[in-house]
Amino acid sequence: MKRLRLFALLCGFMMSTLSWAADTLRISGANDIRIIGYLKEYVDCSKAMVVDSVLMRWRQGDFSDVAPERTISRGVTSCQHWFSLTLHNTSDKAKDYLWNFYYDGIKFILYEVDSALTGIVEEREMSHYTPMSEREVNLRSVSFRIPMQPDECKTFLLKTEVYGRQNLYFPTDISTERDILSYELGFSLLTGHYFGFFIFAIVFSLSLFIVLRSRFYAMMSGYLVSLLCFNILEYLHGSYLIPESLYPYWAMVPKIVWLAFTLYFNVYVFQSFTAQEKYLPNLNRLLSRFNRLVFFITWVFLGLYLYYFPSAEVLQIIQPLFAGLLLIQTLILLVNIGYAVFRRTPYILHYLIGNGLLFVSVLLYLLNTFDIMSLPLLFKPGNIIFAFAFESAYLMIVFAVKYKRDVDKFVRDLTIGEERRAKLTVELLTTQEKERQRIARDIHDGIGGTLQALRLMLSQEKLNAEKGINDTIKGLNDEFRHLVYQIAPKHLDSLGLFGVIERDATFYSPHPQITCYLEGDERLLPWDLKINVYRIYQELLTNALKHGQGLTTVDIQLLIDEDAVTILVENDYSTDLKRKGDTGNGVTNIRSRIAYYDGTYKVEEGENRYTVEISIPLQNKERKKHDSTSNH
C-alpha cells in the first residue's frame, strides 16, 4: 500500500514537472513568439486575495490555460485577473528582456517568484499614469526589465487592476531590450507621420478660419484636434509629447471624452458639408440640439470623472451611462446620414466615402475591446488612425474643390451682376441723352418758335422802345439757344467731339480767352464715353466761368490715345474760384462720371493758376464688353 502511494506521488510530481516544462516560454534573444499562449490565469472577484495566497493557488494548479490569441481581452470586468509566466533564457549569454504592455487604464503589478517557488523575491508596479522619469525604460508602453543569466529560469505572477475603465484589454509581448527599442523606433516613426499630418491639417484649417472668418473651419480644427488627442492617447504617445509636469493630468482624461469631442465636431462638419439645414431642416434641428446637449454633458462627465478618479464604484455607474448617450447620438447621426442618402443631398456620397472606413474601424475596435470578436489589424499602426487620416485627407480635398466651386460661382454671379449694372448704366445714359434731345427739341419747336414770332410781331408794330425790346428778346433767344445746345449737343455727331469743343470756345471768346489743344483719334471713343467726355468738359468750363472772377484765360487740352483719354483744363482764378471751384453739384457730377469709367481726378493749385487733370482708361475691365457700343 505504501508502495502504491509512493508511486502515485511520484507520477504526480512527474506530471507537474512535465506540465511546467510544457508551459515554459523558451527564448534565446529577440523573440516574435506570441506569449499569451504560455500564460496561465486566475480570476479573483473578491479582490481580497494576497500574493502568497495566489502563489499557493498556482502551485496547486488552480490557474487555467489561456488561449493563444493576439491580445488579452476579458471585456467588462470588475474582478482582479492574475497571470503566471515561466521564462527560460536558453542563450549561453546574459540577456536583458522587456515584458511590455500596450494599453491605458490598467495597473500592472509584477511579482518575481523565488527559485524554490515558495515566495516572492521582488514586486514592481507600473501603469500608463506613471511619468516617464519614473519608468524602468523610457518607452510609451508599460515595460518591466527582466535581466537573466545564461540558461536561467524565472517565474512571474502578474496582477492586473482596471481603474478609470471597466474592460480588461491589452496586447503584450517579451523580447530583448534592443529588439523592443528597434521596434518602438519604427513604430514611433510611422505614427509620427500620422501625427504630423494631423498637425498640418489643424494649422491649415486654422489658417482658413483666420482668413475666411468661417465657423466651419473652426469646427474642422476642433475635429482634427480631437482626433489628434484621441490617437495620442490610444497609442500611448502622451509620455513622449506631453510635458511631464502636465502628463499626470493628461493621462487621467479618458479616451471616451476625446471620442465624444470628435463626434461633436464631426456632426457639425457633416451638417455644414452636406447643407443639412437647407435640405433636411427638421432632422438637422433635432441633431443640432442633441449634439449641443451631449457636448455639455461631456464636460459634466469629465468633471465627475476627474473628481471621483480612480473610484471604480462611481465610474462603473457614470461611464456606461455616458457611453450609452454617445451611442444614441451616433444613432441619430446615422439616421440623418441615411435620410440624406435617400434624399440625395449634395456631397453626401463624398461624406460616406470619407467616413465609411472610419465606421468599419470603430466597429472592429469595439468588437476587439469588448471581447466580442478578435480581428486582426488591417492597416498599420492601427485601423482607426489610418481611417481618421484617410477621412481627413479625403474631406480636405473635397472641401478644397467645394470651396473653389463656391468661389467660382460667387465670382461668376458677381461678374454677371457687374455686367448687368454696367449695361443698365449705359442704357440709363443713353436714355438720358435721348430724353435731353427730346426736351431740347420740344423747347426749340415750342417756346423757341413762340419767342421768334413775338420778336417779329414787335418789329412789325413799331412800338415804343422798339430797340430795347428787340435787344432783350434777342438776348433771351441767344440764351435759350445756348441752353438747348447744352442740354442736347445736336452737332456732336456731325461736327465730332473736337469740333464741338472748338465751337464752344469761340462762343465765349475773347472774354475770357479760350485756347484749345486737341490731339488724337476720337474714333477710339465709344459713343457713350464721347458724350460723357463732352459733359465733363462742359462742367469744367462752366465751373471756371461761374466762379472765376476776373478770369482772363482758359487753356483746354484733350489727348486721346489707345490707352486713355486725358482732359486738362487750366485757368487763372480769383479767390472765389479757389474757394468754390472744387465743390458743388458740378464737380460731384464730374466725379461720378469719372468713377464709372475707373478714371482719376486730380486738382493742382499754383500761384494764380488752377488746373484740373482727368484721365479715363479706354480698356478697363468693367468696360471691355461695352466699348464696342457705337449706336446712339
pLDDT digits (tens, 9 = 90+) for 387-406: 888 887 787 777 777 777 87
From 124, 150, 176, the end of a domain falls on 176
Q: Which residue is associated with the grid cell 456606461?
A: 320
Q: In sequence order, what are the residues at sequence separation of 6 or more whose Cβ sits closer than 8 angstroms to the Cβ of residue 537?
A: 501, 556, 558, 567, 569
> How many Cα atoms are found within 13 Å in the side-chain-facing hemisphere of 254?
29
Asked if residue 132 belongs to a domain, the reply is yes
The reported pLDDT for the residue numbered 56 is 92
Q: What total of structural domains would you count in the chain?
A: 2
Examine residue 160 and state whether it is found in any structural domain, yes or no: yes
- C-alpha–C-alpha distance, residues 168 and 345, integer Å: 42
- In sequence order, what are the residues at sequence separation of 6 or more whose Cβ sits closer than 8 angstroms to the Cβ of residue 602? 612, 613, 614, 615
The predicted-structure confidence for 244-291, as pLDDT tens digits, reads as follows 889 988 988 888 899 899 999 989 888 887 888 888 888 888 899 999
Could you tell me if residue 450 is inside a domain?
A: no
Tell whether 507 is covered by a domain: yes
Q: Residue 482 — pLDDT band, cuts 50, 70, 90?
A: low
Q: Residue 372's pLDDT band (boundaries 50, 70, 90)?
A: low
Domain boundary among the residues 151, 176, 201 is at 176
Measured over the CA atoms of residue 304, residue 307, residue 311 and residue 313, the dihedral's sign is negative
> What is the enclosing helix (H) or strand (E) of 96?
strand 95-101
As a whole number of angstroms, the distance between CA 47 and CA 68 comes to 26
CATH of the domain at 505: 3.30.565.10
Flag whether pLDDT at 174 surpasses 50.
Answer: yes
pLDDT at 47: 85
Domain that holds residue 586: 492-632
Number of CB atoms found within 10 A of residue 140's CB: 22
pLDDT at 490: 60
Coil, strand or helix: which one is 18? helix
Evaluate whether residue 195 is within a structural domain: no
The predicted pLDDT at position 584 comes to 61
Per the model's pLDDT, the better-predicted residue between 244 and 212 turns out to be 244
The 3-class SS string of 479-536 reads HHHHHHHHHCCCCHHHHHHHHHHHHHHHHHCCCCEEEEEEEECHHHCCHHHHHHHHHH
- The better pLDDT of the pair 545, 555 is held by 555
Domain boundary among 176, 194, 215: 176
Q: State the CB neighbour count (10 A cutoff) for residue 160.
A: 21
Give the rounded percent of residues in the chain with a pLDDT score beyond 90: 19
Q: Is residue 521 part of a domain?
A: yes
Q: Which residue would you say has higher pLDDT here, 112 or 624?
A: 112
The Cα–Cα gap between 124 and 103 comes to 18
- Buried/exposed 305-322: b ≥16 CB within 10 Å, e otherwise: beeebbebeebeeebeeb
For residue 240, pLDDT over 60 is answered with yes
Rounded Cα–Cα distance for residues 361 and 379 (Å): 10
C-alpha cell at 151: 540558461
Q: What is the pLDDT of residue 578?
A: 47
Regarding predicted confidence, which is higher, 353 or 223? 223
Query: What does pTM read for this prediction?
Result: 0.63
- Does residue 623 carry a pLDDT above 50? no
CA distance 338 to 332: 10
Which CATH number do you get for residue 128? 2.60.40.2380
In this prediction, residue 311 carries a pLDDT of 66
Does some domain include residue 87?
Answer: yes
Looking at residues 536-551, what average pLDDT do you find? 76
Domain membership of residue 612 (yes or no) is yes
